[in-house]
Chains A and B, each alone.
Chain A
Amino acid sequence: MLRFFGTKKDQYLIFDLFFFLAFLFLVIIPMIYLGFTGKQIDKLPRCVKYLNSTFKLFPNRIPFWSIVYMQVQLQKDGSWMTLVDDHYFQAPPFGYRLRINRFFELFWKGSKAKNAQLELALWIGQRFEEINHVTPYMVRLLVAQYLPREECPIGYWQKPTLESFPKDKIILLASFFYDTHGQVE
């Protein structure tokens, strides 16, 4: 083993060994551990843990697809207006969907999800104000359940209108007051 590290040109080998071991212990072995146990090694840096988590690719049957709708109310007890998605989100992260759909994959339930939804609602309210020059009274996020169909879908995916869903398939995910100071609750 001494002959690998004995001469000046073999300094490359020292660096190569260092990088190889770094990848082995920071990437490959943690990935194997994550793969078998479903848990990350806590002591790894956050960015490494994030880069290593690549296994959850379509692991579950989808009983229904969650379609997100944004709505605002301009005054108390007023009617709810469904917002046009394109005015707020245009970039599609894989598939015929928008970044807001991806948002709800990450922030669906729990206290962290509530804080994230609050942040999103604030941004939607601010964007609505910029576009329409009107301050909304309330912002809410609805989810409609689209079931995979036995009869074939007609062509590529197109987002159904909210009205096409029966009421028992529409869930109110969150609603927030948006006051004139731009605060949400």
Chain B
Amino acid sequence: MDKLNKILDVVLKFCLAPSDPIKLDSLRLSLGITLILYFAKWWEHAGEWLTSSGYHVSAKVYENVPILPPLNPEFLPWFGIIFWCSLILWTLGWKTKITNWLVLAGVSYVTFVDVLMAYTINKYCVLALICMSLAPAGEYWSISPKKFSRGPSVWPIRVLQSFVIVQYFFAGWNKCFLGGDWLKYPDVLWSQVQGFYVTDFTAWLISVMPKEGWTFMQYDALSFELLSPFLFLIKRLRPIGFVWGLGFQIVVASTMHMLIYFSLQMLCFYLLFFDDKTLHEIRFFILKTFKEIKQELSYSFRWFLT
């Protein structure tokens, strides 16, 4: 019985113990910046995407998803004001208990109003935002730091870490089995970077790199995905996982048009696997650099006046 209690203690501590808010705060800041870039890119088409002026699949023909009704075009500016204000304030860490829920509501609406635009990136965001709404942070990387009597529980971090590993592994698994044909053909990646996704860089790469190069990249990407549980769970292998993953996401971002936003989002989740000390050092370095730049600018300004 004692042994069982001990095991239970270890498991509960691993899943629920109070933790340093730096991981979730770093995720909030980086994910917020990514979302700002992503929605800024698409906002010029918000009328088509979010309002009844554009075509939308109706709920009766697509029963798999709970589709929300689009906005009346007159309400789009108001939606935009609330959405953008809450997103920017959430990114800055202002009153995250409120702004987190507002951003979650906005991103969820955007995800469920138009299945034609909503993609994996939206789904990841909704899941991450739900986690963060239930355990709001805001002590570091925040314009209104909040002191906690005890650190937030580690469970959102455990859930999101599991999510990254499960996502990578089963994306790779799907590519090999359950209908995927990455093991059957050596030119799957080569065929996929063409068509709608081809960029000027990809066109150039196709012209200079032989097909064997694409095959190598194909199996490299597949290996990364299938090995991700080891690369992210075993602390000693994490540096390899970060570098390999960074390379993987850079290739995705550079060879397929607009997938840079997806890559940026995935890289945000890598911060959850950094140890707290490293994240504090990064934060200290960035704040120190900004302080030095600010000092330099104020000296230059004073010199200019005199």
A interface residues, Cβ below 8 angstroms from B:
1, 4, 9, 12-13, 16-17, 19-20, 23-24, 27-28, 31-32, 34-36, 38, 46-47, 49-51, 53-63, 65, 88-97, 99-103, 106-107, 112, 115-116, 119-120, 123-124, 127, 146, 148-149, 152-157
User: What's the Cα separation between A31 and B185 when bound, in Å?
Assistant: 27
User: What's the Cα separation between A90 and B8 when bound, in Å?
Assistant: 55
User: What's the Cα separation between A135 and B195 when bound, in Å?
Assistant: 34
B169 and A35 form a contact (CB under 8 A): yes
B227: CB under 8 A from chain A? no
A96 and B196 form a contact (CB under 8 A): yes
B55 and A88 form a contact (CB under 8 A): yes
B interface residues, Cβ below 8 angstroms from A:
5, 8-9, 12, 15-16, 42, 45, 48-49, 54-55, 57-58, 60-66, 112, 114-117, 119-120, 123-124, 126-127, 131, 134-135, 149-150, 153, 155, 158-159, 162-163, 166-167, 169-171, 173-175, 178-182, 184-185, 187-188, 190-192, 194-200, 202-204, 206-207, 256-259, 262
B256 and A95 form a contact (CB under 8 A): yes
A91 and B45 form a contact (CB under 8 A): yes
B179 and A47 form a contact (CB under 8 A): no
B126 and A153 form a contact (CB under 8 A): no
**Interface of chain B: mostly helix, strand, loop or mixed:** helix
A59 and B196 form a contact (CB under 8 A): no
**A11 CB to nearest B CB, Å:** 12
A148 and B195 form a contact (CB under 8 A): yes
User: What's the Cα separation between A159 and B115 when bound, in Å?
Assistant: 23
B203 and A54 form a contact (CB under 8 A): no
Give 5 nearest A-B pairs by CB, closest first. Answer: A35-B170, A91-B45, A65-B195, A152-B207, A59-B180
